[in-house]
Amino acid sequence: MVETAPQVSGTPPRRRSAGVVLVASGLALFVVELVAVLTVRAPYDLALQAVSDLGASRCGPLDTYDPPVEVCSPAAAFLNGTWVLTGVLVAVAAWVLRPRATGTAGTLSVLLLAVAALAQAGVGLLPVDEALEPHLLVALGGFLAQLVGLLLLGVALGRVADSRGYATVVLGLGVVTAVAAGLLVVTTAGLLHLPLGLVERAVIYPFQVWMVVHGLRALAPATPATPAVPAGQ
């Protein structure tokens, strides 16, 4: 039997509000990062430096690099605050929009994506220059939750007739995250010499794209469910 499109929990106004939150959060993360890049007072290389460098709370050498790199980001508090606020809001919105017809896999995928959003908030609360090890642990945990959550959501939605196109998009974002995460591990381990900033952004950006796409999907007019078709017909 082919399942019908998943129903989303919550009343339609809650669905619209959650959709707006996701779209606004995803776009805000891109815009605020750009503002931070444009306002730095020390040389910053998008290709080579991590996004977290823009959230360093103080100006000075950052010893996460060898040799240390000078960082100075006047927009650090703005960026960190955006990570915290959007992380909490996205976690709540993702849960409000959880698909019910996808069973345990769908619920678990949304829980993991909510964890990834809360990890983003944790990164904002733990600037890299103040709490390096907790910052890295929270970030890596968030990346893992994002990776598994996107892949699991894509698989779950792929079983629903009216959601297969969107499922392909989600799976694609999950695959990009998985490949980039693998490259990030070997890069930070020194096994490959790839541009750290680009590789890290290839992990982070799929989640932000998912926020926008998932939010837009929630805001789209509802379509009638496709009737279930018995196997063999």
Q: Give domain limits for the chain.
A: 12-218
State the average pLDDT over residues 25-30. Answer: 98
Q: How confident is the model at residue 161 (pLDDT cuts 50, 70, 90)?
A: confident
Q: How confident is the model at residue 6 (pLDDT cuts 50, 70, 90)?
A: low
For the ranges 2-6, 105-109, 112-116, the one whose mean pLDDT is highest: 112-116
Between CA 228 and CA 233, with CA 230 as vertex, the angle to 5 degrees is: 120
With a cut of 60, say whether residue 227 has pLDDT above it: no
Closest CA to 46 of 202, 185, 180: 202
Q: What's the mean per-residue pLDDT of the chain?
A: 89
19, 37 contact by CB (below 8 A): no
pLDDT: which is higher, 163 or 203: 203
184, 203 contact by CB (below 8 A): yes
Checking 129-133 for CB contacts under 8 A at 24+ apart, the result is 129/56, 129/57, 129/58, 129/60, 129/62, 129/71, 130/57, 132/64
With a cut of 60, say whether residue 67 has pLDDT above it: yes
Amino acid at site 23:
V
β partners of residue 8: 99
